Amino acid sequence: MRLAKFALWPAMFLLSPAAAQNPSMDLIRAAARGDSVAVEDLLNNKYANVHAKTKNGRTALIGAAALGHAPIVQILLKQGPNPNAKDNNGRTALIEAATQGNPDAVRALLAETVDVNARDVNGRTALLEAASRGNSEAVALLINRGSRSEIEGQEGSNGGHGSGEW
């Protein structure tokens, strides 16, 4: 009998009233899963907030971009989220899409007013992430949109000190 009680615990947790009453967090989870039907339903019928963030500062857009779900990125962008929103590590949806190497997600984000030179807390940009992972199509898209290859504070930069002497 005790085993059955523990076997039901995960299902009880998933169906808790608190979880069922937060469509914005459901949206973030559905976006991360790549579930376009659930994303559209939550946006259209459940009053989910496209600007909502997790405790780590992740939005549905950042999560979808990080996991390479380009169709979800496109659905979310139609709802008007801030494409330059940053999580607690300074990561934007564009940085995550470039890291993932998903050209469709990068292309969708570049169609918005997005900062192509935004840096995370470590000074890494979308271009640096794409290049360091060999995502050549994302690199080309970013360069064509004006991403700079030399930005102070990135790895390999001398922080603008000219000679490299400190």
Report if residue 127 sits inside a domain: yes
Report if residue 150 sits inside a domain: no
Residues 49-74: tens digit of each pLDDT: 999 999 999 999 999 999 999 999 99
Average pLDDT, the chain: 82
Overall pTM > 0.95:
no
Which structural domain range is residue 116 located in?
22-144
Residues 126-159: tens digit of each pLDDT: 999 999 999 999 999 999 999 987 654 445 443 3
Report if residue 165 sits inside a domain: no
Give percent above pLDDT 70 in the chain.
Answer: 77
Report if residue 45 sits inside a domain: yes
d(CA 96, CA 146): 18
Q: Quick count: other Cβ atoms within 10 Å of Cβ 68?
A: 17
Residues 72-96: tens digit of each pLDDT: 999 999 999 999 999 999 999 999 9
C-beta contacts of 6-10 below 8 A and 24+ residues apart? none
C-alpha distances out from residue 100 to 67, 82, 133, Å? 7, 20, 9
CA 132 to chain CA mean position, Å: 18
**Which among 81, 73, 65 is positioned nearest to 129, based on CA atoms?**
65
CATH label of the domain that carries residue 63: 1.25.40.20
